[in-house]
Chains A and B, each alone.
Chain A
Amino acid sequence: MTITNVRVLLLCAVCLSAFTVMSCGRNGDTPGEMRQDRREQVDILGAGATFPAPLITAMADEYRDLTRNRVTVNYQSIGSGGGIRQFIEQTVMFGMSEAFLSDEVMRNVEQATGGRAFNMPITLADVVPTYNVPGIGAGLAFSGELLVEIFMGDITRWNHEHIRELNPDIDLPNLPITVVHRSDGSGTTNVWTSFLSRVSDRWREQVGFATSVNWPTGIGGNGNEGVAGAVQNTTGAIGYNSFAYALLNDMSYGSVINASGNVIEPSFEATSEAANIELPDDTRILFTNTPAEYGYPIAGFAWMLIYENLDANNAISNRREAGELINFLIWSITEGQELSNLLGFARLPDAAIEKNVQMIRQLKWEGELIGQEILDEQDLLSADRQ
């Protein structure tokens, strides 16, 4: 063997060992622990809305520790539209969306799988107007009509009289307004435009509400993340973000006047309050511009999308995976909710959890009521959770 060959071999050996070390270093497990769990390990793949991503991924981290690395929930935030799409294509075990599935999609799923598509609220989405105006912190008041005018491009200056009317004590500069919106399909957009459509017929007819609309003006950012980034990098910008993102990133966000005429400052309580209304059994409801008196008007559910007939989902390969998915689901709407406030999310109201449990009871694997089985095992009765 020549010197060069020896050197090459040594290099390969070094690389290989580095490789092995790196891949074994996960979470500081001892080899013994890892070997023990490895045989039963389950990967749960989900994808969808960017808004709940901080919460879902934190839940995933927590759940992974809880199950001692046995169950890994891999959630990719690609937008609500993406979540719905991947759910339909069955490339993911669960989707996540801030828009509930349309009637057409529900019908298609019933035809394709013989069972329903469940929309299960996991958390609440609240969308706040975020802005970047030098010298002005959080707390600018906006009305629905004002937001429509800004996002239509009718108002282009921060010191416009309509804004000054609502904020008489604040010194607004003569700065051009840059509107920032989502460039990808998104449930956050759905919630935001749903609100705008409810307060303005003009908006509803010209732009409408959906996960992706033909915006009259402004620049697009990719994901909640992109909008937040664009707003922060552009003085005079106004965009819309989830409350959690705004909090997590120290952004300036405004208060919004709700249907009852109250100026509501975004908060967990105000968001939960908005959902404090009569819910249909399948929870497919939008409560933007909520009738709740002190409810924050730009809020909605973030739903986890699950096939009733779990075996019909190509992404789920066996009963064990289906079972783990259900376990995670149950945990996330109960203990998992503890993580909510810490990360800037409002907790699910009991009414929603109720409906969720009803739906979980009906989850099936090859005809067997697997959801009910697991619930019985865990002895979960709504009465226990007061």
Chain B
Amino acid sequence: MNSDSETPNNGSKEVRELLRRPPSAIYRWLGDRIFAIVVVLLGFSIIALGAAMAIVLYGEGSLSFRQFGFFGFVSGTTWDPAVKLSFGALPFLIGTVVTSVAALLISFFPAIAVAIFTAEYAPRWLAGIIDNLIQLIAAVPSVVIGIWGIFVLAPWLRDTVYLPIFTWAETSYPALLPILGNPMGYGMATATIVLALMIVPYTTALTKDAIKSVPVEQREASRALGATKWEVIRMAVLPYARGGILAGSILSLGRAIGETMAVAMLIGNKNTLPFTIFGAGATMPSVIVNEFREAVESLHLSSLMAIGFTLFIIALIVNLAAAYLTRKFSVKGGQVL
């Protein structure tokens, strides 16, 4: 709905016409013009920011890409800054994929459960409190979760979960040992658990929105057919909310992929494949954090930037998918998490 036409075909003609008008009209026209230009420039700078990120990351990583080839780099399994000076990103790619997908799988049902509980079962006041607490999870800075992980969660997990499983496997099922790996507090498992906790709010929020937007007729129809409360949810509400659940999950995945600090502090920092369940690993963000300030060789630094670029591409794909789905299924204009 544009009540003002701001795109004249012939600029100078308009200016001449304008100059024939009273000064207040010039003030309007000039003001509008300047405002529009400023605003468009600022809007364009968003695009510039995105482009800059892509260009800079690729540019800085180009030394590595030229040396190993893009696919060579991405599929290389050795990360050796010392003897062989060979850099391959596959361990970190796998680390990122494994931890993020596993975190999503772990958090999926609990997150949806919370959404269902607050949307359908909890009394208003309780739903409000739970909502705020869930939002709080997303608000807690990653480093804070990291420091808690180092001093509380990792030792506890090691003593209460990993070591018993490890000792059991030792005595009853030794074949499992190579897959389990050495039970330390730090490692893929701990990092994944912490990730799962951190991404719950995203799935929950969008699922809850989707559930709330299910038309009341659907529920009433189920009720009329004699369904119990849970059956209404299962048969009428959840299928309808599929889109929101999907959007929330992909959003969660996107966050998990990019999560840096808590993972870097807990994942054990092992740059070689294969990974074991209890053993250490590394993800793309964690290796950048750990090695960036120390990289001496230009090839090393460039390889880290190249990993940044790879991370950018992956996050781009996942976020595009998430953004598309979120806009499609989101109820209000934006609950920005």
- On A, residues with C-beta under 8 Å from B are 78-82, 84-85, 88, 176, 178, 183-186, 206-215, 218-222, 226, 229-230, 233-234, 237
* Chain A proximity of B177: nearest CB distance (Å): 10
Bound-complex Cα distance A259 to B283 (A): 40
Q: CB within 8 A of B296: which of A81, A218, A219, A226?
A: A81
Would you mind naming 18 contact pairs between A and B with Cβ atoms under 8 Å apart? A81-B295, A82-B293, A82-B294, A88-B296, A206-B83, A207-B83, A214-B80, A214-B83, A218-B280, A219-B184, A219-B279, A220-B268, A220-B271, A220-B280, A221-B269, A222-B264, A230-B186, A230-B268
Q: Are A185 and B291 in contact (CB under 8 A)?
A: yes
Residue B19 is within 8 A (CB to CB) of chain A in the complex: no
Q: For B154, list chain A residues within 8 Å (CB).
A: 233
Q: How far is the CA of A178 from the CA of B268 in the complex (A)?
A: 12
Q: A213-B80, A214-B78 are in contact. Are A176 and B182 (CB under 8 A)?
A: yes
B158 contacts which chain A residues (CB < 8 A)? 233-234
Question: Nearest-CB distance from B307 to chain A (Å)?
Answer: 15
Query: Which of B166, B293, B294, B300 has the most chain A CB atoms inside 10 A of its CB?
Result: B294
A156 and chain B: residue at smallest CB distance = B182
CB distance from A327 to the nearest CB of B (A): 28
Interface 1/0 per residue, B153-177 and A, CB below 8 Å: 0110010000000100000000000
Minimal Cβ-Cβ distance residue in A for B155: A233
Look across to chain B and name the residue whose beta carbon is closest to the beta carbon of A97: B296
A residues less than 8 Å from B182 (CB atoms): 176, 178
Residues of B within 8 A of A184 (CB): 290-291, 293-294
List 4 extra interface pairs beyond A183-B271, A234-B184, CB under 8 A. A186-B294, A209-B82, A233-B155, A233-B158
* Shortest beta-carbon distance from B228 to chain A in Å: 49
Q: Residue B272 at the A interface, CB < 8 A? A: yes
Name which residue of chain A comes closest to B82, CB basis: A210
Contacts A213-B82, A214-B83, A220-B270 given: A233-B294 contact, CB under 8 Å?
Answer: no
Min C-beta distance of A176 to chain B, whole Å: 6
Closest to B292 in A: A82
Q: Which residues of B contact A226 (CB under 8 A)?
A: 269
Are B82 and A212 touching (Cβ within 8 A)?
yes
In the bound complex, residues from chain A placing their C-beta under 8 Å from that of B13 are none
Contact B84 A214, beta carbon cutoff 8 Å: yes
Q: Which residues of B contact A178 (CB under 8 A)?
A: 182, 184
A214:B79 contact, CB within 8 angstroms: yes
**For the complex of A and B, 6 pairs with smallest distance between CB atoms:** A220-B269, A185-B294, A81-B294, A210-B82, A183-B269, A208-B83
**Interface membership of chain B positions 24-39, coded 1 if the CB is closer than 8 angstroms to chain A and 0 otherwise:** 0000000000000000
With CB as the reference atom, state the residue of chain B lying closest to A47: B293
Can you name the residue of chain A whose Cβ is closest to the Cβ of B177? A176
Interface status of B308 (Cβ within 8 A of chain A):
no
Q: Report the nearest A residue to B154, measured CB to CB.
A: A233
How big is chain B's contact interface, by range?
20 to 34
- Contact check, A233 vs B291: say whether CB atoms are below 8 A apart: no
- Whether the Cβ atoms of A212 and B84 lie closer than 8 Å is no
Residues of A contacting B59 in the complex (Cβ-Cβ under 8 angstroms): none
- Look across to chain B and name the residue whose beta carbon is closest to the beta carbon of A180: B184
Contact of B296 with A208 in the complex, beta carbons under 8 Å:
no
Q: How far is the CA of A215 from the CA of B79 in the complex (A)?
A: 10
| B186 surroundings in chain A (CB, below 8 A) | 219, 230, 233-234
Verify B269–A222 contact, CB threshold 8 A. yes
User: Chain B contacts of A209 at CB under 8 A?
Assistant: 82
B:121-168 near A, CB below 8 Å = 150, 154-155, 158, 166
Shortest beta-carbon distance from A150 to chain B in Å: 13
CB <8 Å contact, B280 and A185: no
A214-B272, A220-B290, A221-B269 as given contacts; A185 in contact with B296, CB under 8 Å: yes
CB distance from B83 to the nearest CB of A (A): 4
| Contact for A210 among B81, B150, B264, B301, CB less than 8 A | B81
Q: Which residue of B166, B270, B293 contacts A219 across the interface (Cβ within 8 Å)?
A: B270
Considering the chains assembled together, what is the distance between the CA atoms of A215 and B84 in angstroms?
12
Answer whether residue B185 sits at the interface, using C-beta atoms and an 8 A cutoff: yes
Contacts of B254 in A (CB 8 A): none
How near does chain A come to B145, taking the closest CB pair, in angstroms? 17
Question: Does B61 lie at the interface of the complex (its beta carbon under 8 Å from any beta carbon of A)?
Answer: no
B95 close to chain A: CB less than 8 A: no
Q: How many whole Å from A60's CB to the nearest CB in chain B?
A: 19
Question: B150 near A229 (CB under 8 angstroms)?
Answer: yes
Once the chains bind, are B290 and A183 in contact (CB under 8 Å)? yes
B268: contacting residue among A84, A214, A219, CB under 8 A: A219
B83, B183, B184, B296: the one within 8 Å of A84 (CB): B296
Give the residues in chain A near B280, CB-CB below 8 Å.
Answer: 218-220
Closest to A79 in B: B294
CB nearest to A221 among chain B residues: B269
Chain A residues lying within 8 Å of B84, measured Cβ to Cβ, are: 214
Q: Which residues of B contact A230 (CB under 8 A)?
A: 184, 186, 268
Q: In the complex, A79→B268 CA distance in Å?
A: 18
In the complex, which residues 251-273 of chain B have their Cβ closer than 8 Å to any Cβ of chain A? 264, 268-272
B82 contacts which of A84, A208, A218 (Cβ < 8 Å)?
A208
> Separation in Å of the B131 CB from the closest CB of chain A?
28
Contacts of B264 in A (CB 8 A): 222
Whole-angstrom CA separation of A233 from B79 in the bound complex: 27
Q: Are B82 and A214 in contact (CB under 8 A)?
A: yes
A186 to B280, CA, bound (A): 20
Given contacts A78-B293, A183-B291, contact A233 B150 (CB under 8 A): yes
Q: How far is the CB of A333 from chain B (nearest CB, A)?
A: 25
For the complex, give the distance between the alpha carbons of A234 and B294 in Å. Answer: 25
A212-B294, A221-B269, A222-B290 as given contacts; A233 in contact with B82, CB under 8 Å: no
Instruction: Please give me the residue from chain B that is nearest to A226 by CB atom.
Output: B269
**Nearest-CB residue, chain A, relative to B158:** A234
B187 within 8 A of partner (CB): yes
- What are the residues of chain A within 8 A of B301 when measuring CB–CB? 85
Give chain B residues whose Cβ lies under 8 Å from the Cβ of A211: 81-82, 294, 296
